[in-house]
Amino acid sequence: MEIIARATAIFFFVWIVTRSIGKRQLSELSAFQLVLLVTIGDLVQQGLTQDDRSVTGAFLAVGTIAFWVTVSSMFAYFLPRSRRVVEGLPVIVVRDGHVVDEALRMERVPVDEVLEEARREGIADLREVKLGILETDGKFSFIKESGGDSQQSSADKRISAS
């Protein structure tokens, strides 16, 4: 029972830590950060099972973590309002060609990263962007301005057709 309580506590601690680190930082790990992530995994394991090296202890720890991952994904799916707590929300970082400085500051993302991602999408100038969004997975999405017509992606067309 102690392993289940430890696994539950560590699950929520790791969830809080990853939410506080920020979307963008988690989506692009450097080699050093990857090593730190592996080290954190080892430290978590030690805190989870303490001196218990049994197969039963490992099953309990992994099962408890899997249980909480499943519960959190079910909350996000069945209770849409909980999604903002569980997964976070996308953040608008460019609106009508202008960078939203406050959003970048809150997400700790430099303007240079937004410009770099826009160039990867074939956007030379942010003035071409109607909306730039930092998604919950740390990636950027850009919706370009169009002449007079509203430009829709294929995903938007499928959603509006439903």
What pLDDT score does 31 carry? 64
What is the spatial order of strands in the sheet that 91-95 belongs to? 98-99, 91-95, 129-134, 140-144
Span of 18-27, 87-96, 124-133 with lowest mean pLDDT:
18-27
- What pLDDT does 149 receive? 42
Percent of the chain at pLDDT exceeding 70: 78
**How much is the mean pLDDT over the chain?**
79
Across the range 152-160, mean pLDDT stands at: 44
- For 23, 46, 125, the CA distances from 114, given in Å and listed in that order, are 14, 39, 11
Which residue type is seen at 8? Answer: T
Least confident of 27-36, 47-56, 58-67, 111-120: 27-36
Q: What is the pLDDT of residue 4?
A: 87
Q: What is the pLDDT of residue 40?
A: 72
- Please compute the mean of the pLDDT values over residues 46-65 and round it to a whole number: 77
Please say whether the beta carbons of 44 and 14 come within 8 A: yes
Q: Residue 68: what pLDDT?
A: 87
Q: Are 79 and 87 in contact (CB under 8 A)?
A: no
Strand partners, 133: 92, 141
Predicted pLDDT of residue 25: 57
Per-residue confidence (pLDDT) for residue 78, from 0 to 100: 93
Segment 121-146 shows an average pLDDT of 90
Look at residue 144 and give its three-state secondary structure. Answer: strand
* Residue 144 phi, psi (nearest 5): -85, 150
Query: In this structure, what token pair is assigned to residue 68?
Result: 């909480």
Give, in degrees to the nearest 5, the angle at Cα 133 between 128 and 135: 150
64 Rama class: left (phi>0) / alpha (psi -120 to 50) / beta: alpha
Q: Are 93 and 133 in contact (CB under 8 A)?
A: yes
Confidence of residue 159 (pLDDT cuts 50, 70, 90): very low
* 161 pLDDT higher than 50: no
| Beta carbons within 10 angstroms of residue 154's beta carbon | 7
